[in-house]
Amino acid sequence: MNFSVRNVCRKWSSRDLVSAVEAMVTGTLCALILSSHTAAAQQHAPSGAQFRADPPRLRGTVSATMVPLPRPRPADAPPRAQPVAKQGASATEKQVGQGEPAEPQPSACRVALTEEIAIAPSIPDIRGPGGCGGEDLVRLEAIVLADKSRVAVKPAATLRCSMASALADWVRSDVARLAESLGSRVTDLDNFDAYECRGRNRVAGAMLSEHGRANALDVRAFKLANGQSVGLTDRTVPREVRERVLHSVCGRFTTVLGPGSDWYHEDHIHLDLAQRRNGYRICQWDVWDPLPQIAPLLPAERPEQAPPREVATRSDQEGPEAGNSAERKSGNPEAPPAGETAPTSGETRPSKEKRRPSRRF
């Protein structure tokens, strides 16, 4: 038989045959036993229980089970190991997990356009009015040739990475070989215009130019190490040289405009990479012949041994005066003056008379 405190109070207080006096005695004894048991439980409670905010609650007549607190960590204990990050996690995932915005990844063009090809640092995207600007922009400062020499772009051009890459390939492959055929090497590229938020040909209300999209460059000339400047529209430059430049740019760029295209491109060459339907390309550049030499202002002096010039005579219908004047002009000394008749055979020529002074000024 189980004689625990709970069983005693449960069994003996509920029997029907016990008298009222016995019930009172039994209840008093149960109360004394419970009070002594509670005091003993509080005396032997864990040390951390006295710091609890609320005293433990009792269910019925028995106290709740107390959970002891863990012992404090010793001061000389080794530091806890940090959780190891998952292998293969990229830097972007770590930044996103920390709440920082992820940096945009460089484009394939930006990765390929290294400092061994061109000096072209990246610049922030441009958001201009009317659709001007663009993304993936660079500042093209110089183009690096195969021999590590640099071709300076003067002034530096703000362009899209794809346009800057196409220009670098053109200079490194075509212009460098052309300079070698001229007995020198290219050093400078004359930049006439690059990015500019404007319409085509600077006409008000015109469609947005490729210059406004940072997708075009106007070139006037390139300079050589020997000091020579090769102007692309200069007629004094040999026609063969300008034709080689024409064929090279028309094979690399989708738009080429020069002399003969319109009145806006007579002194420079426009290059861009505009995308059109079905891959349509425009190449309009007339390579003019050299200007003719200017003729001298005065005619050459007549040689002494040249035959005399023939002088046309007037018709006889104009009268004898016209005939006489024609004879005098021809140098005939026998021609009589105006108003006189020619002497017949056997007659003597009259003496000269005093003539009237001329009234012409």
Token representation of residue 321: 């005066």
Angle, CA 252 vertex, CA 250 and CA 253 arms, to 5°: 70
Highest mean pLDDT out of 49-53, 151-155, 204-208, 329-333: 151-155
Based on the number of CB atoms within 10 Å of its own CB, is 157 exposed (0-12), middle (13-18) or buried (19 or more)?
buried
* pLDDT above 90: residue 19: no
Q: What is the mean pLDDT of residues 167-183?
A: 96
Mean pLDDT of the chain: 78
* pLDDT above 80: residue 327: no
Residue 13 binned pLDDT confidence (cut-offs 50, 70, 90): very low
Task: Report the pLDDT value the prediction gives residue 10, as an integer from 0 to 100.
Answer: 52
Task: Report the pLDDT value the prediction gives residue 345, as an integer from 0 to 100.
Answer: 46
Q: What is the mean pLDDT of residues 51-74?
A: 62
Residue 322: phi, psi to the nearest 5? Answer: -65, -40
Residue 44 binned pLDDT confidence (cut-offs 50, 70, 90): low
- Contacts (Cβ under 8 Å, ≥6 apart) of 217: 157, 159, 163, 167, 191, 193, 194, 270, 271, 272
Task: Report the pLDDT value the prediction gives residue 204, as an integer from 0 to 100.
Answer: 83
Task: Report the pLDDT value the prediction gives residue 130, as an integer from 0 to 100.
Answer: 86
DSSP E strands in 145-285: the ranges are 150-160, 186-193, 216-224, 229-231, 255-257, 269-272, 282-284
pLDDT digits (tens, 9 = 90+) for 71-126: 888 888 887 776 655 555 555 555 545 555 667 789 999 999 999 999 999 999 99
Amino acid at 159: L
Task: Report the pLDDT value the prediction gives residue 17, as an integer from 0 to 100.
Answer: 45
Helix, strand, coil shares of the chain as percentages rounded to 5?
Answer: 30, 15, 55
Task: Report the pLDDT value the prediction gives residue 59, as an integer from 0 to 100.
Answer: 54
Residue 296 binned pLDDT confidence (cut-offs 50, 70, 90): low
Q: What is the mean pLDDT of residues 305-332?
A: 61
Q: What is the mean pLDDT of residues 297-318?
A: 74
pLDDT digits (tens, 9 = 90+) for 206-265: 899 999 999 999 999 999 999 999 999 999 999 999 999 999 999 999 999 999 998 899
Residue 100: half-sphere exposure toward Cβ, Cα within 13 Å = 9
Task: Report the pLDDT value the prediction gives residue 360, as an integer from 0 to 100.
Answer: 42
pLDDT digits (tens, 9 = 90+) for 252-276: 999 999 999 988 999 999 999 999 9
What whole-number percentage of the chain has pLDDT above 90? 47
DSSP state of 148: S
Task: Report the pLDDT value the prediction gives residue 187, as an integer from 0 to 100.
Answer: 97
- pTM for this one? 0.56
